[in-house]
């Protein structure tokens, strides 16, 4: 087995969670890499949808943004943004919303807006885009991010995308009938919400990762499942697919920069 990085393990573990019949609303960055690795390996018929209105896209390289022409050129069809959100997303037609996060708490609430006070922030982040709607209207939400104490915090600075709120049945009490975040994949572990409390719990450690490493990079006391598994390492096919995709992407984007 080839050596692999924690980021590669995270992306591949995330890709494995997707099924061939999923209709997936894809976030830019790590979610996009995971979704396209799934499409190129075990889930060739997965329907990938991006916020700009592209449906059934099959990019040869990873997009720089939702406005990347690669998405429209390879899509089955492209619809208007209002139709994408009102008919497809709010109409309940998206099985998986795949999001990244700058900050996340133990109940899967996401901040991508500001760090610090909203009116005088220490850091202004990219913002929500369509993520708040994706988080409430997709049947399930998968989240992927690298672990750090700055990112995984006891209390997020701003609620951009609602997860399980204060835990328990908070979503249901607000009239949100979708499942919310059901999976968190980091560069160290796989987490799932407790069925009752909805607090994210470690169910699998990536190869070579210890419980201490997970706790040291998390800002709240980590809970571990009774039987913590070990994530299967990437296969040669998975690694080659991801690395080839990244290499094509790097070459394409460097070419654009050179000729701009």
The catalytic position among 8, 51, 70, 133 is 51
Cα separations in angstroms, 54 against 15, 73, 74, 75, 105: 20, 9, 9, 6, 31
Question: Could you confirm whether 51 is annotated as catalytic?
Answer: yes
Instruction: Please list the residues that pair with 229 across neighbouring strands.
Output: 204
Task: Give dist(CA 53, CA 26) in Å, integer.
Answer: 11
**Tokens standing for residue 6:** 């924690």
Classify residue 255 by its DSSP letter: H
Listed residue (197, 91, 93, 104) closest to 142, CA to CA = 104
Buried b (16+ CB within 10 A) or exposed e, 143-177: bbbbbeeebbbeebbbbbbbbbbebeebbeeeebe
Catalytic positions are: 51
């Amino acid at each position: 087995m080839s050596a692999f990085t924690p980021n590669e393990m995270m992306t591949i573990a995330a890709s494995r969670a997707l099924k061939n019949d999923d209709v997936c609303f894809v976030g830019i960055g790590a979610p996009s890499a995971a979704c396209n690795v799934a499409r190129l390996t075990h889930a060739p018929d997965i329907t990938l949808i991006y916020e700009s209105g592209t449906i059934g896209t099959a990019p040869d390289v990873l997009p720089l943004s939702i406005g990347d022409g690669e998405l429209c050129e390879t899509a089955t069809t492209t619809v208007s943004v209002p139709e994408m959100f009102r008919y497809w997303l709010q109409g309940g037609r998206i099985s998986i919303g795949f999001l990244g996060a700058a900050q996340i708490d133990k109940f899967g609430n996401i901040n991508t807006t500001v760090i610090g006070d909203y009116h005088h922030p220490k850091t202004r982040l990219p913002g929500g885009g369509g993520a708040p709607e994706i988080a409430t209207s997709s049947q399930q939400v998968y989240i992927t991010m690298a672990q750090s104490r700055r990112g995984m915090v006891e209390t997020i600075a701003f609620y951009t995308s609602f997860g399980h709120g204060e835990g328990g049945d908070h979503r249901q009490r607000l009239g949100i009938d979708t499942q919310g975040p059901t999976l968190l994949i980091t560069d160290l572990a796989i987490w799932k919400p407790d069925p009752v409390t909805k607090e994210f719990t470690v169910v699998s450690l990536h190869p070579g990762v210890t419980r201490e490493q997970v706790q040291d990079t998390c800002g709240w006391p980590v809970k571990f499942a009774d039987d913590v598994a070990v994530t299967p390492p990437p296969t040669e096919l998975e690694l080659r697919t991801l690395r080839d995709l990244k290499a094509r992407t790097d070459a394409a984007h460097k070419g654009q920069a050179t000729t701009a």
